[in-house]
């Protein structure tokens, strides 16, 4: 499998973990894996355009590096940026107090993050599949 396919497979695995965590009502992990899914899908998009995906986790930087147009609407781009708020507090239990204004993510946060990740993964996977870049569709694996 190509590097692009590897990024998509890892993104799909994070999507699966987010779904399992959501079903188990482990909302901080739902948000963490949703954020990771989007990060890896964006890195697949970068790789598709010949860029070496950087080892960064900032959604704003990844979006800035992505060749335009992105494979999803601007409204979804805003939701992707919002996922960045989960990067530190869902990863480190001793994160700075107030990293999330209301504490750990709740069910609503988790459902929004899950939906955003699913939309991004589907959009990127569909576009790469259409272009013949991805050998298989990781979103349905």
Q: What is the pLDDT of residue 91?
A: 75
pLDDT (tens digit, 0 to 9) for every residue of the chain, 141 residues total? 589 999 999 999 999 999 999 999 999 999 999 999 999 999 999 999 999 999 998 999 999 999 877 878 889 999 999 998 888 777 776 665 555 556 678 999 999 999 999 999 999 999 888 877 764 444 434
Q: What is the pLDDT of residue 88?
A: 72
pTM of the predicted model as reported, rounded to 2 decimal places: 0.86
Question: What whole-number distance in Å separates Cα of residue 90 and Cα of residue 94?
Answer: 10
Q: What is the pLDDT of residue 67?
A: 85
What CATH number did the domain enclosing 94 receive?
1.20.120.330
Q: Where are the alpha helices (DSSP H) in the chain?
A: 3-23, 27-48, 59-65, 74-83, 107-130
Domains of the chain: total: 1
Place of tokens 């599949």: 129
Domain that holds residue 96: 3-140
């Amino acid at each position: 499998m190509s590097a692009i396919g590897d990024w998509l497979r890892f993104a799909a695995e994070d999507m699966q973990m987010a779904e399992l965590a959501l079903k188990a009502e482990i909302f901080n992990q739902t948000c963490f894996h949703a954020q990771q899914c989007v990060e890896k899908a964006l890195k697949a998009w970068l790789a598709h355009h010949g860029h070496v995906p950087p080892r960064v986790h900032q959604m704003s930087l990844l979006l800035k590096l992505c060749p335009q147009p992105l494979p999803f609407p601007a409204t979804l781009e805003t939701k992707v940026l919002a996922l960045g708020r989960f990067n530190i507090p869902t990863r480190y239990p001793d994160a700075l107090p107030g990293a999330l204004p209301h504490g750990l993510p709740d069910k609503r946060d988790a459902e929004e993050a899950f939906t955003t990740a699913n939309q991004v993964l589907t959009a990127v996977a569909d576009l790469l599949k259409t272009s013949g870049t991805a050998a298989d569709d990781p979103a349905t694996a």
